[in-house]
Amino acid sequence: MKISIVGATGYTGAELLRLLAAHPVAEILYITSESQPDTPIHEIYPHLTRFCEKRLASLADLDAIATESQVIFIGLPHGHAMEVGRKATAINPHVKIIDLGADYRFKNFDIYEQWYKVPHTHRQAQAVYGLTELNRSQVKQAAIVGNPGCYTTASILALAPLVKAGLIDLRSIIIDAKSGVSGAGRGLSLGSHFTELFESVKAYNVAGHRHTPEIEAVLGELAGQELVINFTPHLIPVARGILSTCYAQLRDGVSPEAVDAAYSSLYGDEYFVRLLGRGGYPVTKNTRGTNFCDLGWHVDKRTGRVIAIAAIDNLVKGAAGQAIQNMNVMFAIEERTGLDNAPLYP
């Protein structure tokens, strides 16, 4: 499997390299960076010493990259990724694209443009939304995959069984998510400055985070109707991990057992979803470094609500790991390949 990574110096790119180093058939051809071209990657990320010591190429090499690669992972900011996707597939119609940003996540381009404030320039792409557990059969056929956001992966996995089985009031969905700081990337900002975050917690982007329409679109499709949700992200002082606590009103007469059945039915055979059952408490650290999503749910008889909780590692199941999972599916490689490691605990 000949692989290139365009935009490899962010945390997502580094995580792809970490994971692909353990993938038996992965061969890294090109990795690019516009800011630090020609630098060996292990000078930027010394932890990769012995695993990837390749020198960074740049987008100037896109011809070679598109021609020689079977799959390109894109780790660029939104707006830029679709440009690379468009050009690369023009150069080589057979190259597959897995974009870790938002450019290929939306079927409705109006919503994309409204939330991301840029025109969509690759509308003909026919991309598939790569939440593997929900869209496996389409991913299998996909030429371009829009890899889901980190918050969205956790939140959708938590809510999909309830929505799909029609168990909840669709107007009642509230998602309160807590994320480690690596989700904000390696770019410097006061908001990611160690001393500012230490011993602190805060919410941000209330009612305005861009993962909101992504969750709405996917759940809406499952429900067969449009819906709006509240999604509130919080920053907690850890490097990795997302915990997504999801609230919804159960429809009248829905029993706790029906809730249980919805989870079992959708995920009973999924390797990367570990069901902790009703009353179970997912812990982000139990997924650290892995592609697992741990799920637990609770039914509150007093209020008639269900509280579903998902834990993931935002850089793995929320980004690089799910991207590799999708690659495996697209190329008919056994889905766990390269991803079947136990979490780093404690």
Residues with catalytic function? 150
Name which of 89 and 132 has its Cβ closer to a copy of itself. Answer: 132
201 binds a copy of itself (CB under 8 A): yes
Q: Which of 161, 114, 149, 133 is nearest to 297 (CA)?
A: 161
182 binds a copy of itself (CB under 8 A): yes
Name which of 89 and 182 has its Cβ closer to a copy of itself. Answer: 182
Length of the chain: 346
23 binds a copy of itself (CB under 8 A): no
CB 282 within 8 A of CB 276: yes
Site for a copy of itself in 278-307 (CB under 8 A): 281-289, 292, 294, 298-300, 302-303, 305, 307
271 binds a copy of itself (CB under 8 A): yes
310 binds a copy of itself (CB under 8 A): no
116 binds a copy of itself (CB under 8 A): no
Residues whose CB is less than 8 angstroms from the CB of residue 270 and which lie 6 or more positions away in sequence, other chains included: 133
Site for a copy of itself in 211-250 (CB under 8 A): 228-230, 232, 234, 236-241, 243, 245, 247
Name which of 1 and 97 has its Cβ closer to a copy of itself. Answer: 1
Binding mask 151-180 for a copy of itself (x = CB under 8 A): --------------------x--x-x-x-x
Amino acid at 157: L
Instruction: List b or e across 212-228, with b for residues whose CB sees 16 or more CB atoms inside 10 angstroms.
Output: bbbbbbbbbbbbeeebe
Name which of 118 and 203 has its Cβ closer to a copy of itself. Answer: 203
CB of 292 to a copy of itself, least distance (A): 8
CB 20 within 8 A of CB 324: yes
Name which of 24 and 93 has its Cβ closer to a copy of itself. Answer: 24
269 binds a copy of itself (CB under 8 A): no
User: Rounded CA gap, 122 and 62, in Å?
Assistant: 17
User: Rounded CA gap, 297 and 327, in Å?
Assistant: 30
345 binds a copy of itself (CB under 8 A): yes
DSSP H/E element including 327: helix 321-330
HSE-up (13 A, CA, CB side) for residue 112: 19
In the numeric block, which tokens belong to residue 212?
A: 């909101």
DSSP H/E element including 139: helix 132-141
CB of 112 to a copy of itself, least distance (A): 17
188 binds a copy of itself (CB under 8 A): yes
Site for a copy of itself in 42-101 (CB under 8 A): 45-51
